[in-house]
């Protein structure tokens, strides 16, 4: 089937919020193919523990591609224990230069509790402003909501829950079935 005929996998909203000594990354559970919801309870946020070093990662995009990237990130973390920033940069360099990895269509939000990064296939390792990062089809909605809530008395988990609910009300490719992972600083 030519690419222009394929309805395309859409969806997901992943949001990371860093506040008061912890990071919460949350993701919705919807997987859509065209206008059809294929699954409503996918788990797009995972905890990685290479060598006893905890990292939380959320992904948007192709699931198989994201799992490939998560495996590569784990390998980089094993080579540079406790250095998420360095591992993220090494992954982004490989992703940008390796002919196989260049074809992968996914994005990651990762955190070790101290840092929060967005990693893209364009070679970007972005540390967001205000301790808020979002990716996916509903990412901009969740990002705007979280930015509006970051200076309130709400903790990181409450901000993620409320922002994801707002994104799910606006983005048809996002639902309210959440997976949350928390990691302390």
Q: Which of 12, 13, 75, 152 is catalytic?
A: 12
Q: Residues 174, 17, 123, CA angle at the centre, nearest 5°?
A: 80
For residue 113, the 8-state DSSP code is S
**Alpha helix ranges (H) inside the chain:** 63-79, 84-97, 139-149, 156-170
For residue 21, the 8-state DSSP code is T
CA atoms of 1 and 19, how far apart (whole Å): 46
Q: Quick check: is 12 catalytic?
A: yes
Kindly list the catalytic residues.
Answer: 12
């Amino acid at each position: 089937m030519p690419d222009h005929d394929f309805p395309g996998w859409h969806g997901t909203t992943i949001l990371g919020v860093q506040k008061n000594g912890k990071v919460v990354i949350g993701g919705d559970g919807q997987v859509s193919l065209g206008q059809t919801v294929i699954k409503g309870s996918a788990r797009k946020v995972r905890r990685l523990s290479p060598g006893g070093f905890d990292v939380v990662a959320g992904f948007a995009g192709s699931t198989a591609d994201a799992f490939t990237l998560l495996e590569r990130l784990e390998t980089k973390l094993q080579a540079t224990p406790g250095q998420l920033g360095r591992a993220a940069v090494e992954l982004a360099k490989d992703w940008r230069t390796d002919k196989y990895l260049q074809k992968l269509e996914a994005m990651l939000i990762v955190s070790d509790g101290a840092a929060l990064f967005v990693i893209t296939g364009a070679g970007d390792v972005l540390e967001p402003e205000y301790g808020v990062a979002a990716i996916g089809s509903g990412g901009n909605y969740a990002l705007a909501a979280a930015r509006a809530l970051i200076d309130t008395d709400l903790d990181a988990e409450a901000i993620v829950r409320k922002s994801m609910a707002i994104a799910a009300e606006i983005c048809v490719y996002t639902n309210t079935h959440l997976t949350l992972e928390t990691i302390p600083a």
